[in-house]
């Protein structure tokens, strides 16, 4: 049986990576990075808290050997909410419009 490895959609990866790094960064550095979003995010923002909670639930499910499909979907949705809020487009639209042919 072939295993399928789910990855976060490319446009969402920076958001998810930043959420993953939240415990490694000093609180003021995290707040500074989140403030660069347009509109700015705050570490106490409910959308940010939802993404962090989704990542924690994913990690917990992985440690316990539980199915990860639901947890992956929750992470993707939480990251997409932040992406749409900050970028004003779905990640799929952004990728389609920003792709340029090689010269």
Contact 99, 31 (CB under 8 A): no
Cβ contacts of 41-48, under 8 Å, gap ≥ 24: 41/82, 41/86, 47/78, 47/81, 47/82, 47/85, 48/19, 48/82
Tell me the average confidence (pLDDT) per consecutive run of 10 residues in the chain, 103 residues long: 65 94 96 92 95 97 95 96 84 45 36
pLDDT score, position 97:
39
Report if pTM > 0.85. no
């Amino acid at each position: 049986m072939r295993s399928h490895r789910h990855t976060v959609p490319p446009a969402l990866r920076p958001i998810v990576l930043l959420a993953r790094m939240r415990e490694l960064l000093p609180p003021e550095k995290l707040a500074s990075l989140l403030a660069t979003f347009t509109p700015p995010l705050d570490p106490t923002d409910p959308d940010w808290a939802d993404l962090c909670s989704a990542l924690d639930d994913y990690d917990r499910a992985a440690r316990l050997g539980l199915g990860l499909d639901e947890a992956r979907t929750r992470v993707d949705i939480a990251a997409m909410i932040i992406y749409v809020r900050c970028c004003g487009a779905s990640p799929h639209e952004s990728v389609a419009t920003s792709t340029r042919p090689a010269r």
